[in-house]
Structure 1
Amino acid sequence: MSVINLAIAGDLHGAWGDDDRELLLKVNPDAILFVGDLGEGDFRLVKSIANLPLPSAVMLGNHDRGADASGDQLQSQLAILGDSNCSWRLRDWDYPPISVVGGRPCSPGGGYFLTTQVKGVFGPVSLEESAIRIFQASQNASKSIPLILLAHSGPSGLGSEAFSICGRDWKNPSLDWGDKDLAMAIDLIRKERSIDLVVFGHMHHKLRLGKGYRQTYYRDSLGTIYLNAASVPRKGIDESGELLSHFSWVQFLDGQIAHASHRWYRKDASIAYQETLLNTAL
């Protein structure tokens, strides 16, 4: 039986250090995905992620775009990430046997908006062009292995309530705050192949207006799983005062997703708490 374990780091907002690297090596996933909002352009943090000794795929978020309108700070981060950068690109590796295709970098959600920094690096890109770029990147992925789409903001079309997986929760009325280009790309890709998993963040799990938490997992009628990994803050303390760190976790068995969860780990890599979203594994 073929088993692939993926760790997913939700919006970091600077909460990443040597302890996370050590924890990750103990947890020992086959690969790790980052959904963006790493650290407000912190080059040291980006270098730490780029130097991880395991396969990684990184999407930068709206908080990673940099303060300079030229896009130089954004370009520097992309250069540091090298092959791990997934901006409108296929991230492929020899092992594990999965393909990761990235969406539009630095997305603030809300349909479609290209920041001045992204324009400075990539030039003007229309809504349709962005969708086509994602689709074209998927064309280079092997159809014999699972396909994952990695984005900062999830696609539009998954609900307009504040608690929806991509719903706007910080201002009334609530709206579908997903990305239209990603939704368009999904439709294009599905004309030629299936999509196993769409991973993103941006919309924090804890709702800003009102009590409660948003939906973080959704499976559509065609079997694609959508996972929002943005548990913010991703560091916490248990009742005994021990530090906990969050990763989302996905397991493939023989090329099919068998498990998905949100996990809070202790320093020794034991699981203090797990929210199971899917579990078909025997």
Structure 2
Amino acid sequence: MFFCPSRVPSDPRAVLRLAIAGDIHDQWNHQDHELLRWLRPDALLVVGDLSEGRQRIAALLQQVEIPLACVLGNHDSGKDPSGRRLEQQLEMLGERHCGWRLRELRPPGIAVVGARPGTAGGGFRVSQAVRSVYGPFNLHESAERIRSAAMAADPALPLVLLAHCGPTGLGSEAADLCGRDWKLPARDWGDLDLALAIHQIQQQRRLPLVVFGHMHHALRRGRGERRSFRIDGRGTAYLNAACVPRHGVDQLGRALHHFSWVEFDAAGCLLEASHRWFGSSGDLLYEQTLWKAPPAADPLALVASPVPPSGQGDRDPAAALLPRC
């Protein structure tokens, strides 16, 4: 973790840069649009929980000028069991919503597959709103929808799974990526259908990244912060982007906007993952580095990244400068 007063640095090997908006919870405005124009990522991924079923955020996302993929979360049904509020947002997002389906973004050249929409985690819990919109389905049918969408993706493109809640298997402590922190005992609160789909996909093709939110970084009752990044033994990276609230003000009174950020090289290998807080003029004010590929001997060489140990990012005395999610 470190303080950085400069604009976004760029690895010379990077050919694909993704901005990720964690659980929005009504915190998206035209300043975010301006930041995207300043930062110029190649695409924007949105992990859901736009609001409590209102259409304002979905309408704003229609105005985003760069390629976008989104999956809706449990809050997006607005406690409406009929599913009508969920349907209204799905209609507004149109092709941008990729729940249970493939969305190939060309440009920039990336395949995004959405997981089960409207999930609240906890293994396989399906709300009445989701059943009202999508009809009946079981765990294995949901996993197969994710797997088959991934198998339809162009194998030449890097594949990203976009989910609201992450998969089971990432730890059962409260501070783990999908750990339950609001009730004892702590337990793994990930989605089992997503975990099954990931296992099946990994047997058939490379899966460099799974992005999700839902489990907020700040743990309940002031118990610290959640781990938000991990790489498994097959080289798949898992990134929890749910920094909530994503808008804030630092100790100097500067407005902050949060995006998680990932960069890939031309071979589709992950180069970097971080959480970034930007000022209103596009300056990178704070960055939490989660993982960075080791530099090649030739900085322009495109090499496959080795599998690193899992980690949460740098921890140093400058950590106190970081805004709290």
Instruction: Report the TM-score when normalising by structure 1.
Output: 0.97
Alignment of 1:148 with 2:143, yes or no, is no
Measure, in 2, the Cα distance between the counterparts of 1:197 and 1:50: 25
* Secondary structure of residue in 2 paired with 1:136: helix
- Structure-2 residue corresponding to 1:277: 290
The residue type equivalent to 1:247 in the other structure is F
Aligned residues of 1:171 and 1:209 also touching (Cα < 8 A)? no
* Secondary structure of residue in 2 paired with 1:198: strand
Counterpart selection for 2:103 from 91, 106, 124: 91
* Secondary structure of residue in 1 paired with 2:122: coil
Cα displacement (A) at 1:93 = 2.2
Counterpart selection for 2:274 from 255, 261, 264: 261
The residue type equivalent to 2:94 in the other structure is G
Q: Which runs of 5+ in 2 are unaligned?
A: 1-12, 300-325
- Structure-1 residue corresponding to 2:22: 10
Measure, in 2, the Cα distance between the counterparts of 1:157 and 1:279: 23
Runs of 4+ in 1 over 4 A off after TM superposition: none
Cα displacement (A) at 1:159 = 0.3
Measure, in 2, the Cα distance between the counterparts of 1:233 and 1:93: 28
Measure, in 2, the Cα distance between the counterparts of 1:219 and 1:2: 19
Give the direction of change, closer, same or farther, for the CA distance of 1:249–1:218 in structure 2 (3 Å limit). same
* Secondary structure of residue in 2 paired with 1:137: helix
State how 1:194-273 maps to structure 2 within 5 Å: 194-254=206-266, 255-273=268-286
Measure, in 2, the Cα distance between the counterparts of 1:50 and 1:134: 25
Cα displacement (A) at 1:50 = 2.0
Alignment of 1:78 with 2:78, yes or no, is no
- Structure-2 residue corresponding to 1:172: 184
- Structure-2 residue corresponding to 1:21: 33
Cα displacement (A) at 1:253 = 1.2
Cα displacement (A) at 1:229 = 0.2
- Structure-1 residue corresponding to 2:135: 123
Measure, in 2, the Cα distance between the counterparts of 1:5 and 1:197: 13
Aligned residues of 2:47 and 2:72 also touching (Cα < 8 A)? yes
> CA offsets, 1:167-194, max 9 Å, x none?
0001110000000000000111112111
Cα displacement (A) at 1:45 = 1.4
Cα displacement (A) at 1:67 = 3.1
* Secondary structure of residue in 1 paired with 2:56: helix
The residue type equivalent to 1:183 in the other structure is A
Aligned residues of 2:14 and 2:263 also touching (Cα < 8 A)? no
> CA offsets, 1:72-117, max 9 Å, x none?
1111111111111011011112211110000000100000011111
> CA offsets, 1:112-149, max 9 Å, x none?
01111111111011011100010111121011111000
Aligned residues of 2:159 and 2:207 also touching (Cα < 8 A)? yes
The residue type equivalent to 2:81 in the other structure is A
Cα displacement (A) at 1:27 = 1.1
Counterpart selection for 1:58 from 50, 70, 80: 70
Cα displacement (A) at 1:211 = 2.3
* Secondary structure of residue in 2 paired with 1:125: coil
The residue type equivalent to 1:245 in the other structure is H
Moved more, 232-241 or 66-75: 66-75
Cα displacement (A) at 1:2 = 5.8
Measure, in 2, the Cα distance between the counterparts of 1:211 and 1:72: 37
Moved more, 134-143 or 225-234: 134-143
Cα displacement (A) at 1:6 = 0.2
* Secondary structure of residue in 2 paired with 1:247: strand
Counterpart selection for 2:59 from 43, 47, 51: 47
> CA offsets, 1:19-51, max 9 Å, x none?
111112111100000001111122121011122
Instruction: Report the TM-score when normalising by structure 2.
Output: 0.85
Q: Which has the larger radius of gyration?
A: 2
